[in-house]
Amino acid sequence: MTSVPINISIFRGDTKDWTLTVIDDDGRVDLTDWATRLTVKTNKSDADVDAVIQKTGVNLVAANGTVTMSLIKSETVDLEIKDYYYDIQIDNTTTSKVHTIRSGIFTVVEDITITSLV
């Protein structure tokens, strides 16, 4: 599995969902016994405990190799408008293998509407 840098942008205070399909040289990866983790940091060298966002156990469909990542308003509303660094890793809970499946720049964009309808 290789990870090509892909940049993400999100409006501050918005909800964001996206789905990734994990593929190796033989096709889709069965994600049975794998866990996922999204980490967003100000600096790449920051400790994981200092990440501005860190989520584990996001939705995983093992049979077809897909991972659905979701961020909700409360996780993005207080972020500074700027670029961060992120990666998404999968960890095999049986073999302890770790693969970074996506990484890049995570940009928080200024929102125009401040008041939410809900």
C-alpha to C-alpha distance for 74 and 13, rounded to whole angstroms:
7
CATH pick for 8-109 out of 3.40.50.300, 1.10.8.60, 2.130.10.30, 2.60.40.10: 2.60.40.10
Predicted TM-score (pTM) of this structure: 0.85
| Domain spans in the chain, listed from the N-terminal domain onward | 8-109
Q: What is the pLDDT along the chain (118 residues), one digit of tens a residue?
A: 555 678 999 999 999 888 888 877 777 777 888 888 999 999 999 999 999 999 886 666 667 788 888 889 999 999 999 999 999 988 888 898 898 888 999 999 998 877 766 6
Cβ-based burial of 81 (10 A; exposed 0-12, middle 13-18, buried ≥19): exposed
